[in-house]
Amino acid sequence: QKEVEQDPGPLSVPEGAIVSLNCTYSNSAFQYFMWYRQYSRKGPELLMYTYSSGNKEDGRFTAQVDKSSKYISLFIRDSQPSDSATYLCAMTHNAGNMLTFGGGTRLMVKP
Amino acid sequence: EPEVTQTPSHQVTQMGQEVILRCVPISNHLYFYWYRQILGQKVEFLVSFYNNEISEKSEIFDDQFSVERPDGSNFTLKIRSTKLEDSAMYFCASSDSSGGTDTQYFGPGTRLTVL
């Protein structure tokens, strides 16, 4: 079983739709969870960072962590064509430690 | 806004040659990392560096790889004798990681092509 699993997509939605992106993980030692956005041939750009179970909101983005189910989500409201990118989940055991990434979900938002 | 920078953006080398990839982390950050991403694959951890020594490394980071912080601003990754399978995007990242947080900020990457 892979440590972090993420549906590769592509996920195609119309502009204005609510997008739900998800990752599951197997290692209960993961404590810190991040979502990155990556445009083609660019570096990952940090979007959201969460530590505890529950929801965290930042503008159009909401990150959700359910440690009991080992499941994290990123919701994007009012999606825009500029949101078209690959979304990577990443997690780590402790601050200062290596990140383990999911494979990324490619999102396409059509005008 | 402070950012991680990397040079060069693209490096082409012959198999067996040595390459050095350079990074300038965010200035007040204490932890430094190298990751790589082979085309179409996951971002993979290579090594982390704190307090002038390696704190963690993956199986990928074998004797052909080394890291160095030669001065107060640069952080380098050296590959001694490149192989075809070293062709990938190499990302440098840095984090503050004080107070129990861990937000790693990534540079734009160096695309390494080994011929």
Contact B30, B98 (CB under 8 A): yes
In the block, residue with structure tokens 């993956």: B58
Taking an 8 Å cut-off on Cβ atoms, the answer to whether B91 and A92 are in contact is no
What distance in Å separates residue A76's CA from the closest CA in chain B? 20
Closest residue in A to B55 (Cα) is A97
With contacts defined as CB-CB under 8 Å, which chain A residues touch B41? 103
Taking an 8 Å cut-off on Cβ atoms, the answer to whether A98 and B43 are in contact is no
Taking an 8 Å cut-off on Cβ atoms, the answer to whether B102 and A88 are in contact is no
Averaged pLDDT score across all residues of chain B: 92
Return averaged pLDDT per consecutive 10 residues of chain A, 111 residues in all.
85 96 93 92 89 89 94 96 96 81 96 95
Distance CA(A22)–CA(A71), nearest Å, equals 7
Contact B47, B37 (CB under 8 A): no
Q: What is the pLDDT of residue A42?
A: 86
Q: What is the pLDDT of residue B77?
A: 98
